[in-house]
Amino acid sequence: MDFNDTPEEAAFRTEARAFLEKHLEPKGAKPLRQRISGEAFMREAKAWQKIKAENGFAQITWPKEIGGRGGTPMQQVIWNQEESQFDAPTGPFAIGLGMCVPTVIAFGSDAHKKRYVRPALTGEEIWCQLFSEPAAGSDVAGVKTRAVRNGDDWVINGQKVWTTGAHFSDFGIVLCRTDPKQPKHKGLTMFIVNMKDPGVEARPIHQASGGREFNEVYFSDVRIPDSDRLGEVGAGWKVALVTLMNERLAVGGSPGPDWAEIMDYARKAGTLGDTAFREKLADWYVAAQGYKLTKFRSQTALSRGETPGPENSIGKIITANQLQDICNEAIEMQGHYGLMVDEDTMPADALFQRSFMWAPGLRIAGGTDEILKNIIAERVLGLPQDVRVDKSVPFDELKQG
């Protein structure tokens, strides 16, 4: 038992770190309030993505033929660990490269791969995931957005919602209903859609947190050539599962303050001596450490070329809930003063307050707490599925609301 890299892994880590040091500043070098946002951030993010792609550090496990490094999953883990030590402008590409483009690679034609993979990899084109709808979130197979065949094209009408980044995306993968007479999982088909098409309208949604990162997206007579279909007609669910599987791999840790940050804050505030607080802090440490070490177990499997077990599925349930609790505790510790949100004057640049408003979203995005527990119960423990009233009935006869 040890935490050491193999000689090959160590060599890769050294190479990655040297590359990062050449291009970026270490995390925390710049105070939070000087960080950029909006279009300036996007410019920097695209520039960094391009540098990564040109040097073989974008999508390390992808084959070289399509612009990846042809590396191992463990190398990707090492890269992520190292990059997270630096002030790297990442983010806008995670959904595209982590979920959408892998789906295009799995189900698209050679022409698709030629056209779409490279510009996504270099950050020139951004992708979004158009699955959720007002009446289809957890139950994403319940989508109603219609695709109707017309000559060589499909005509799309309907509405998506919660689409992260749709307003700055160039392309998306959109899950549509092609046959409402079939049971819900059978009448679905997946397409590539050009987000700049005049029939596509993305309206940013004002989030509870105040930001506007996700969108409602309306489709009005948008024509998609049949050649931009991913997978067979009626096989959209199978395609969607591949995307969602990649999502489960992509999500896990939550950004934001953890036990170390609140301990640090309590020390400065002089409240670290409080017994009730110390007990909570111990619980947070144990759970956070438990998840961190669980990732090490999965990485051990990766490092040996094996498939990790299901243990990583505990991640988002732990981290999203803990983030919420830690922020809540920090605010209560600050008392009435803790209500204020000014980044220039509040302790820790108002990190606790900002994350407090983000945490509810993390418990929902990428699978809610309840859905993730169902997945553990059914797929890991082998317990029976919930009672389903929707599986064999034609979709257009189902209740919705």
Partner 1 sequence: MNFDFSEDQKFLRDEARKFLTAQCPSTAVRAVLDAEDITHDAKLWSQIGEMGWLGAAIPEEHGGLGLGMLELCVIAEELGRVLAPVPFSSTVYMLAETLKLAGSEGQKAALLPKLASGEVIGALALSEGPGEPDPASLSVRFEGGKLTGTKIPVTDGDIASHAVVLAAEGSGASLVLVDLNAGGVVRNPVKTLDPTRSHAELVFDGTPAERLGEAGAGAGLLGQLLDRVAVLLAFEQLGGASRCLEMATDYAKERYAFGRPIGGNQAIKHKLAEMYVKNEVARSNCFYGAWALSSDAPEMPEAAAAARLAASEAYWFAAKENIQTHGGMGFTWEVDAHLYYRRAKLLAVQAGAPKVWKEKLIRALETKNAA
Ligand X SMILES: Cc1cc2nc3c(=O)[nH]c(=O)nc-3n(C[C@H](O)[C@H](O)[C@H](O)COP(=O)(O)OP(=O)(O)OC[C@H]3O[C@@H](n4cnc5c(N)ncnc54)[C@H](O)[C@@H]3O)c2cc1C
Active site residues per annotation: 247
386 binds partner 1 (CB under 8 A): yes
HEC secondary structure over 129-191: EECCECCECCCHHHCCCEEEEECCEEEEEEEEEEEECHHHCCEEEEEEECCCCCECCCCEEEE
DSSP state of 389: S
Contact letters (x/-) for partner 1, 7-46, by CB under 8 A? --x-------------------------------------
Residues in the chain: 401
* Residue 376 C-beta: closest distance to partner 1, Å: 4
282 binds partner 1 (CB under 8 A): yes
Candidates 286, 339, 340, 393: give the one binding partner 1 (CB under 8 A). 286
Q: Give the footprint of partner 1 on residues 61-120 (CB under 8 A).
A: 74
Q: Show Cβ contacts of residue 108 under 8 Å, excluding neighbours closer than 6 positions.
A: 116, 192, 230
Closer CB to ligand X, 5 or 213, in the complex: 213
User: What's the token pair of residue 90?
Assistant: 């990442």
User: What's the token pair of residue 343?
Assistant: 């980044």
Candidates 198, 270, 384, 401: give the one binding partner 1 (CB under 8 A). 384
User: What's the token pair of residue 89?
Assistant: 């402008």
For residue 10, the surrounding DSSP H or E stretch is helix 7-23
Q: For residue 214, what are the β-bridge partners?
A: 164
Q: Show Cβ contacts of residue 2 under 8 Å, excluding neighbours closer than 6 positions.
A: none
282 binding partner (options partner 1, ligand X, none; Cβ < 5 to 8 Å by kind)? partner 1
Q: Fill in the amino acid letter for 180.
A: P
The separation between CA 37 and the C-alpha centre of its own chain, rounded to angstroms, equals 19
In three-state secondary structure terms, 89 is coil
Contact letters (x/-) for partner 1, 246-275, by CB under 8 A? -----------------x---x----x---
Closer CB to ligand X, 214 or 352, in the complex: 214
Q: For residue 215, what are the β-bridge partners?
A: 163, 204
Closer CB to partner 1, 212 or 379, in the complex: 379
276 binds partner 1 (CB under 8 A): no
* Residue 164 C-beta: closest distance to partner 1, Å: 26
- Angle 109-169-28 (CA atoms, 0-180°, nearest 5)? 115
Candidates 293, 339, 340, 393: give the one binding partner 1 (CB under 8 A). 293
C-beta of residue 234 within 8 angstroms of C-beta of residue 205 = no
CA-nearest of 326, 318, 335, 332 to 376 is 318
129 binding partner (options ligand X, partner 1, none; Cβ < 5 to 8 Å by kind)? ligand X
User: What's the token pair of residue 326?
Assistant: 């830690």
User: CA–CA separation, 204 vs 202, rounded Å?
Assistant: 6
* Residue 320 C-beta: closest distance to partner 1, Å: 12
User: What's the token pair of residue 279?
Assistant: 């007990």
Q: Give the footprint of partner 1 on residues 113-152 (CB under 8 A).
A: none
Closer CB to ligand X, 188 or 262, in the complex: 188
383 binds partner 1 (CB under 8 A): yes
Residues in touch with ligand X (CB under 6 A): 95, 129, 131-132, 137-139, 162-164, 214, 361, 364-365, 368, 370-371, 374, 386
Closer CB to partner 1, 335 or 382, in the complex: 382
293 binding partner (options partner 1, ligand X, none; Cβ < 5 to 8 Å by kind)? partner 1
Which residue has 């489709």 as its token pair? 219
389 binds partner 1 (CB under 8 A): no
- Residue ranges in contact with partner 1 by CB under 8 A: 1-5, 9, 74, 263, 267, 272, 278-279, 281-283, 285-287, 289-294, 296-297, 299-303, 311, 314, 317-318, 370, 372-374, 376-378, 380-387
